[in-house]
Structures are given as C-alpha cells and as structure tokens.
Structure 1
C-alpha cells in the first residue's frame, strides 16, 4: 500500500507533464501528424527497437555469465522483454524492470550479488555509451547547437569531444579506482575488476552498448521519418541522449511526458516544430508498449533449464 501511494504522485506528474506538452504543441496537430505517419517507416522503427533490445538482452547475458550467473539466451531474452513490459506499465521508468530482472535471476538460484550487479552494470553500460554517442553527436552538430547556448561552434565542439574522450576512458581506470576503496558493498565489483578478462569483457560491453544505442537512434529517427522529420544522423545521435535520459527518470510511467518534453527541447534547434517532436517521442513510446506486449506473452513460456 505504501509503495502504491508513492507511485501515484509519479504517475500523476508524468501525466500532467504529457498533458502540458500536448497542449503547448496543439493536440489536434499532433493527432493529424500521427494519422498521416508512414507505415513503412513505423515498421522499420519498431524492427530497430526490437533489435536494440535483443542486443541488450545478449549484453546482459554475457555480463551475468561473466559475474558467475549461468544465464541462458532464452531466459535472458524473455526476462528482458518482460522487464520492458513492466517499465512501460509501472511508475518509475526503468527501475521496475531492472528490479524484476535482478529478482528473477536471483530466484533461479544464482548468487544475489551477481544477480544485482549484472543488472546495475548492464544499465550503467548502456547509459555510459548513450552519453558518449550523444557527446559525439553534439560535437558534430556544434554549428547548430552552440548558438543556442551563446557559444562559438569550435570551442563547443572541442569541449564535447574532450569530455566524451574522458568519459569513455573512465571505465578503463575502474580497477585502479576500486583498489583505493574498501567499502563492503563494492566487494563484488572489486572482485570482478580484478579478474584477468576484465578489459576484454569491458570492450565487449562497449561494443554491445554502442550497437544498442545506434539501433535505438535508428528507431527514433525512423519514427521521425514516419512523420516527415528528416535530420542528419548526427542530429539523432545527439537527440537520443536527452530524450532517453529524461525517459529513464523515475518520475513517470514508461517515460511518458518526460520523453516528449525532451524531444521538443532536443529537436527545436534543428527547426523541428513542437507537434512533430512530440509525435516522435510518442511513437517511440508506442514501440516500448509493443515490445512490452511481447514480454507479457513471454510470461507463459517455460524457463530454459540448461
């Protein structure tokens, strides 16, 4: 009951934000754009979104197995899409789905630390690469974004590239950073970082996370093309960072409201009108609902016991 009372304000906040964004963008114009959406691009975006989450599931499986949890491909895929369904329906954005993944992995007899850390590190890996790709995209779009911040394009691009390079280098220094910490809750992470295959696993995670974000950007861009929004690839590379980060905030249900508001702000410098930007965000949200439905169907499938 207490959790339900805490979840209700989040739901209402997300709904209020979505309502406000729709009113500012003119609901009639948003609806007219959505009705005219190109079905081919809608299908392509959904396919890219599904592919992105399939790679995400395999990334989580590889990380869990490296941490000592014997997670099979079928279970990883099924549980990942079930988590997407929970994310789409429950308040708290990605929090509910992540807790579910850690719980089901632990209930199958795997170590609690390995189960929890596999989910935490999987989420951090995705956010790490999301910010990196967003930084590169911002640098490539410096001539468009810098004037909005009243900055010169060249210094802005240089700042973005240097910051992104340092950001990408941070995990490689993780073993040394952890060696100076004696906090008990970091013990599983210290043990993992001390393993011989740490750098190889980190590289595999980086490549998988890059593929996930590229496919996610393709899904967002396809939703835009379905509404007639045609932008350079660098613009979408930049846009995914604020859009997906805002959607992941635990202040709404399924990212509704925060995602659309971020889409309006991120695409405005490129001349995208608010109704079209809101429509792009809503289409991406529908992709999540469809994939959540696939996860709901997977609840009845038997677990892989190999």
Structure 2
C-alpha cells in the first residue's frame, strides 16, 4: 500500500487579518458621524430647532391645503369674538395664577394673587410673542425665584404648576378619547392598557432599585423634589384647589377651541369637537412651534380630515385658535409697558442712581426682630436684599387665601419684580 502525499494548506494568523481599507473606511465614517452630531449638539441648534421645525410644519400645511380657509376664518374674527377671547383668557389666567399661588405655598414661597395674575399675563404674552412657546414661563420662574431669594425653588414652583396643567390635560384626554367617538378611539383603547402596564413595570423597577440602593446625594435630591411635588400638588391643603383650577383652565381652553371652530365655519356639535380639541392641545405641548403654531395645526388638520370635517377647516380652526389665544394674552403687553414705565419713573425720581442701602432688619436666633444691624460695606446683591427683607419668618408665612378672589391685600409688598 502506497501512501500519497497530500498537500494540506497551512493556516497562518497573518492571513486572517481584516481588510485594512475597510477598517479605515468604517473608522472614518464613525468619526464623521460623531463630528456631525457634535456640531448639531450646540446651544444655537437646540435653541432654534423647535422654531425651524414649527416653520416647516406650517409651510407644508399651507402648501398642501392652501390659505383660503385660514384667511376666511381670520376675516370672521369680529369684536364679539375678541371680547369672548379676552373673557375666557381672564378666567383661565386668574385660575392659572391661583394654581401657581397654591404650588408656591406648598414650597414655602409667598406669592400674593394680584402680582401672580400680572406675572402670569406677562408670561402668556411672551410665550405667544416669542419663538419656542416657553420663554415666558422661564422668565416668570427666574424672576419669581430672584424675588423670593431662592431661584431654584422659584423655578421648581413654575415647573410643578405647569406639570399640574399637563397632568390634568392627559387624564381628561384619556377619558375623552376612550369614551367619545374620535379618529383615534380604537387605537387609544388598545394603547392605554399597554402604557398602563409599562408604567406599572417601570414603577416596580424603580421601587426595587430604591429599596436595594444605599442612600446617595442624588437619591436625597430626588426625594426632596418628590416631597416638594407631593406637598405642592397632592397635599390635603393644596390638592383640591390645584385640581379645581386645572379643570377650569382646561375647560376654558376647550371653550376657546369651540369658538375658533365656529369662526372657521365648522358646525359640528361640541361632543364631536371635544376629542379633536384634546388632540390639538396635546400636540400644542410639543416644543416644536413658533409661539404655539406648528404641530397643533398639523394634528388638528389631520383630526378634522379623519373625522370627515375637512382638513382645511381643521387648519383654519387651529390658526384662528392661535390668534384668539394671542388676543387673550394681550393684557400681558400692558403689564410689560406699565412696569417698564414705573421702572423709568422711579429711576428719574432718584436721579438715575441707586439709593444707598439703609439699615437691614435681621432676625436674631430666637426670632427677635427688635434690633437693627448696620448695613454691610458696599452695595448688597439683589438676592441678599430680598432674602434679608423677607427673612426666614416672612418667607415661611404663607398666603392666607384659599380661593382666587380672597387674597389679602395686606400681606405686604409683592414678591415679584417691577420690570422685565
């Protein structure tokens, strides 16, 4: 038997190396992608992205549906419609300011109702006049925090107040979309149980992690924020008022939407318009708009078209609604003008120079305010003046009003700025 030699190929490690050119190309593409993302993740892009997105949505709707129905709806805005918008805006603004006052009280911040209404009007006007739709709320939060001597707590009060409104909208929206006929009722009935199970699972995971994790600085901060939210929104003292004010505000927005639909030429009954209004209000909460215009118009045009009421009528309704909301916020412009004029007059009376700081009333450790301490050398920062002027005893004294029309005018100087 003869054995034939068989050539067996020898595997070398050098022959198994990846293609150098392919690796270089993949690395280059990854580097280019990271460079593109870093350029997009800049403050300028983040600031203007929502405005550009809202403009794109509006441009696409105008190009697709035209401007005829929109212009016709604007022509129907007459004096009674303007007065109706101002009346609805007055009710919603007063109750929104009352909700803000209740939340601030839960966070131990003193906020009289009158200045709260004026500040809320100003923030609504800035939200409607400036891109983004939230700059007025940011201004209101920072100004109130500066006046109260605690910017963080002032910002959290505004965030919680706005969160209460969104929670009321979501809860009412789920009820309306599940019960009344709408283009999304079937989808909502299938989606809500899944979302409920997902939320329950997420809550269980968070609870398990909290029970098995040692206390940390971040955990303590989170517990403090949750405690403030519970005290400001869900406490026995504030909860009923927050719920009532949120319900009244939501009802006012829906009423404004129905008025806009009538001006746009829609004769659909209110039960048919109610779920469409909820969809429009939910879309309006997206931060991709120009003073509120953008996704709201797209969602309303789609909802009206799916309901058989005409997409053009839906676009006109949303645009007229935005105009009426801007009209309702116009008293905020008067607040801006009045406070700037008051600031100018005060500066002219003092010759344009700041007054010398007088003696500051300081609290003794036992709460005794009978002694004055001499002023510190130099000018004090505004935050220090505010915290000293409204010392610990004053800052924790809460507003005695429990209803928006029962604020006590003798509570002292408002904790709000006198100018923008």
TM-score (norm 1): 0.80
Q: CA deviation at 1:241?
A: 3.0
| Mapped partners of 2:71, 2:224: distance in 1 | 50
Unaligned 5+ runs, structure 1? 150-155, 167-175
**Structure 2 match to 1:242:** 279
**Are 1:30 and 2:70 an aligned pair?**
yes
Name the structure 2 match of 1:305: 413
Change (3 A) 1:284 1:193: closer
Distance 1:232 1:145, change over 3 A: farther
| Partner deviation per Cα, 1:164-216 (whole Å, 9 max, x = no partner) | 999xxxxxxxxx99x96962432443443675981342222112111110111
Question: 3-state SS of the aligned residue for 1:183?
Answer: helix
Match of 1:251 in 2: 288
Give the aligned partner of residue 146 of structure 2: 107
Cα distance in 2 between the residues matched to 1:111 and 1:103:
9
CA contact (8 A) 1:244 1:259 kept: yes
TM-fit CA distance, 1:227: 2.2
- Measured in 2, the distance between the counterparts of 1:86 and 1:273 equals 32
Contact kept? 2:123, 2:140, Cα under 8 Å: yes
Q: 1:249 to 1:242 in 2, by over 3 A?
A: same
Q: Is the deviation greater in 46-55 or in 58-67?
A: 46-55
**Match of 1:192?**
228
Q: TM-score with structure 2 length normalisation? A: 0.60
- Separation in 2, partners of 1:80, 1:193: 20
Work out the number of aligned pairs and report it. Answer: 290
Kept after mapping to 2: 8 A contact 1:51/1:215: yes
Distance 1:281 1:29, change over 3 A: closer
The equivalent residue for 2:169 is 130
1:183 aligns with 2:223: no
Who wins on radius of gyration, i.e. which is larger? 2
Residues 1-306 of structure 1 mapped to structure 2, 5 A cutoff:
3=43, 6-37=46-77, 40-41=80-81, 43-94=83-134, 96-142=135-181, 145-146=184-185, 149=187, 183-192=219-228, 198-299=235-336, 300-301=338-339, 305-306=413-414
**What is the DSSP-based 3-state SS (H/G/I as helix, E as strand, rest coil) of the residue aligned with 2:132?**
coil
Cα distance between partner residues in 2 of 1:48 and 1:164: 34
Offset of 1:84 from its aligned partner?
1.1
Q: 1:244 to 1:108 in 2, by over 3 A?
A: same
- SS of the residue 1:256 aligns to: coil
Q: Is the 8 A contact 1:113 1:188 kept in 2?
A: no
Structure 1 residue 50 displacement after superposition: 3.3
Name the structure with the higher helix share: 1
User: Structure 1 residues 4, 86: CA separation in 2 closer, same or farther (over 3 Å shift)?
Assistant: farther
8 A Cα contact 1:10 1:250, kept in partner = yes
Higher relative contact order (CA 8 A, sep 6+): 1
Distance 2:68 2:328 in 1: 27
Give, in angstroms, the shift of residue 39 of structure 1: 5.0
Q: For the Cα contact (< 8 Å) 1:135–1:238, is it kept in 2?
A: no
Q: Distance in 2 between matches of 1:121 and 1:193?
A: 7
Report how far residue 4 of structure 1 moved: 5.2
CA distance in 1, matches of 2:89, 2:230: 35
CA drift of 1:130 comes to 0.6
